[in-house]
Amino acid sequence: MLIPTPHKAEDHGSLSTYTRFPGHLYNHCLASQQIGQYFARIKLPLISGFLFTGIVAGPYILGLIPAEAIHRLRFIDELSLAFIAFAAGSELYLQELRSRFRSIRWVTATQLVFTFSLGSVAMFLLADWIPFMRGMSTTGRLAIALLAGAILVARSPSSAIAVINELRAKGPFTQTALGVTVIMDVIVIILFALNSSIADALFAHLPFDLRFLLLVLAELLISIAIGYGVGTLLRHIVALRTGGFVKAALILLAGYGVFLLSLTIRELSHVYLPFEILLEPLLICMIGSFVVTNYSDYRTEFLQLLHDIGPPVYIAFFTLTGASLALDILLKVWPIALVLFLARLGGIFIGSLSGGILAGDPMRYNWAGGMAYVTQAGVGLGLAKEVAVEFPEWGTAFATVIIAVIVLNQIVGPPCFKWALHLAGEAHPRADTPEFDGTRDVIIFGLESQSLALARQLRAHGWQVKIASRKAQYREDVDKADVPIQPIVDLTAKTLHELGVERAEAIVTLLSDEESYQVCELAYEHFGIRTLVVRLHNRENFERFHRLGALIVDPSTAIVSLLDHFVRSPSAASLFLGTEEDQDIVDIEVRNPALHGVALRDLRLPLDTLVLSIHRNGRMLISHGYTRLEVGDMVTIVGSVKSLDEVARRFET
């Protein structure tokens, strides 16, 4: 695809000094990140915040990102698009799709047919109401309709995975939804590559004969071959014995090199051949990532690198995408975007229902299925930007319409997917955390010397302790103990309710890993217990407990870590173990509404106390005097026992 030649500095007049813009872009990205977090707090997608920041900072509102600067920063788009293609290819892991392949195959096929058909037809029929399409010939309108239909097929694996992780969803419906979403993002890149070649031919008035079909086939085969080579290159990059930053930079440069290679091949073929060879860079990058993911020993390392690269790339890309939106065109065509959104929605629901029926899935899955595939994000936006560059005469206006549709899908999609998972009965979210009743309660599962010792120590610090055990079969075991022991028969939600788990602030489990996971999962899903402490037996189970937010103690490493801290920081280790006389470290939750918004420096805490950190919304804040408290904060404080009791009363009352 042809990329516009960057303007010379003198062409910009007062913008001749704009070579410093990357520094300005860094500031805009920081602002975009913060605004994205605000959007997330009100349950809107992060990328909506990034796009909003770009729109506000762009040439149509504040002008902080001039239109000329957007052209200069085209290389950032290409780096980001290559990364998006790498991410799409990495999601297509064949071993994880085999168990539900029949359903995935049928739903993917029917959704592809109906979404592409309805999207293309809707775009073609709306041509008279779309300003940039009114004066076009029928072939031109058809070319644009095919491109629009292809992009509307795109999904968002990252958004789907985020919803699945948030709800801890698992089951056949979840597997099918994720499989279809991943495969559809792969198919859409192939479909876009084909339709882009067709659109080029239509605008150039080239005949559709055998030579054209052979050329398109040759382009696909060349793309596959180069993609395999890129996969080999990526595998060698990941295998390098160097830091993650260097590997990440090399991966992005490899993706950017694919764009340069595609441009070079097109320009050389235009000069030396009677036809142009158009290779789709996104398809090449996706194939390379697919090769590394499925046919190398570096899948885990590659996925970790992509995970680390993702946030800054997405922030920069979506911020620039928002800045490039033509708001004057958007104001005129927003009803068109709404109609295209509804057409796509209709195609998704019809395709999902018919595909599920053909696959023999339960009807409750089929009726809910359409809501699982609404979300769009990275790949769709990337393809829209590709059109803007490939066809500069009308591409920007086209991209504006499509991006408006994608934003609608991104806003509506995640809530719909959550609803679908609940309807399918496969959502397992955390229950609401119970209100604090004024007493700190803890239940310890497992009767042994360590649990008794822990119970006595917690009681000494003012906790109400109960030990639950299936081994306390003999009455004398219960009667002789100096802490309450509750015999239980099984590990069910009913049993935990009878134990009074809903009143507990913490649960400690010293059982086998399977039994401990059963307790933690029940406490998470049915009672919303915030603090889950687990003694781990098998390191392979670490991730299972970590996904529940459990605090994990690994006996095989705990003693070594403790001795290490005694050597490097004996005072802190002594405080941690409680061996310092009259000194302790505690976590206190802020429940007093009168303290909401109060800065730490204004609290007048006892002089022998110190705030170490604040946990808020799952993140740790390194506090300072101007940090303001919020209700629900978990504050870690060190100090004398007497002063800590006073602080606890002030924070919790």
Provide CB contacts within 8 A for 416, sequence distance 6+. 371, 372, 374, 375
Q: pLDDT grade, residue 120 (50/70/90)? A: very high
Which among 193, 187, 180 has a CA at the least distance from the CA of 351? 180
Contact 598, 636 (CB under 8 A): no
DSSP-based three-state secondary structure for 538: coil
Mean pLDDT of 285-308: 86
Write the single-letter amino acid at 647: V
Rounded to the nearest 10°, the torsion over CA 617, 621, 627, 631 is: 30
pLDDT digits (tens, 9 = 90+) for 123-179: 999 988 888 888 888 888 998 999 999 999 988 776 777 677 667 787 888 888 888
Mean pLDDT of 510-516: 89
Percent with pLDDT over 70 in the chain: 86
φ/ψ of residue 484, rounded to 5: -65, 130
Which among 513, 515, 489, 491 has a CA at the least distance from the CA of 501? 491
Higher pLDDT, 233 or 625: 233
pLDDT digits (tens, 9 = 90+) for 193-232: 788 878 877 776 666 666 777 877 888 888 889 999 999 9
Higher pLDDT, 637 or 482: 637
- Residue 164 buriedness (CB in 10 A; 0-12 / 13-18 / 19+): buried
User: Whats the size of the chain, residue-wise?
Assistant: 653
pLDDT of the residue at 162: 66
Cα–Cα distance between 317 and 32 in angstroms, integer? 11
Cα–Cα distance between 274 and 383 in angstroms, integer? 27
Mean pLDDT of 265-290: 83
pLDDT of the residue at 4: 35
Residue 240, token pair as written in the block: 């390098």
Which among 507, 510, 469, 509 has a CA at the least distance from the CA of 486? 469
φ/ψ bin of 462: left (φ > 0), alpha (ψ from -120 to 50), beta (otherwise):
left
Q: Are strands 531-535 and 609-616 parallel, antiparallel or unpaired?
A: unpaired
Helices 395-423 and 172-203 cross at an angle (nearest 10°) of 170
Instruction: Kindly state the helix (H) or strand (E) to which residue 583 belongs, with its residue range.
Output: strand 583-589
* Range from 149-153, 156-160, 241-245, 393-397 that averages highest in pLDDT: 149-153
Indicate the range of 34-43, 85-94, 490-499 predicted with least confidence. 34-43
Task: Supply the mean pLDDT for the chain.
Answer: 80
578-652 and 26-423 share a CATH fold: no
Cβ neighbours, 10 Å, residue 214 = 10
φ/ψ bin of 529: left (φ > 0), alpha (ψ from -120 to 50), beta (otherwise):
beta
pLDDT of the residue at 1: 37
Report DSSP state, residue 619: E
pLDDT of the residue at 2: 35
Which among 461, 404, 384 has a CA at the least distance from the CA of 148? 384
DSSP-based three-state secondary structure for 464: strand
Cα atoms in the Cβ-side hemisphere of radius 13 Å centred on 421? 28
Place of tokens 């005072």: 571
Contact 418, 167 (CB under 8 A): yes
Cα–Cα distance between 419 and 515 in angstroms, integer? 30
Residue 89, token pair as written in the block: 């290819």
Write the single-letter amino acid at 142: L
Rg (CA), the chain: 29
Write the single-letter amino acid at 575: L
> For the domain 26-423, what is the CATH code?
1.20.1530
pLDDT of the residue at 169: 80
Domain coordinates in residue numbering, the chain: 26-423, 441-553, 578-652
pLDDT of the residue at 18: 37
Class for the domain spanning 441-553: alpha beta
CATH of 578-652, one of 3.40.50.140, 1.10.10.10, 3.30.70.1450, 3.40.190.10: 3.30.70.1450
pLDDT digits (tens, 9 = 90+) for 57-101: 777 777 777 777 767 777 887 888 888 788 877 877 777 667 678
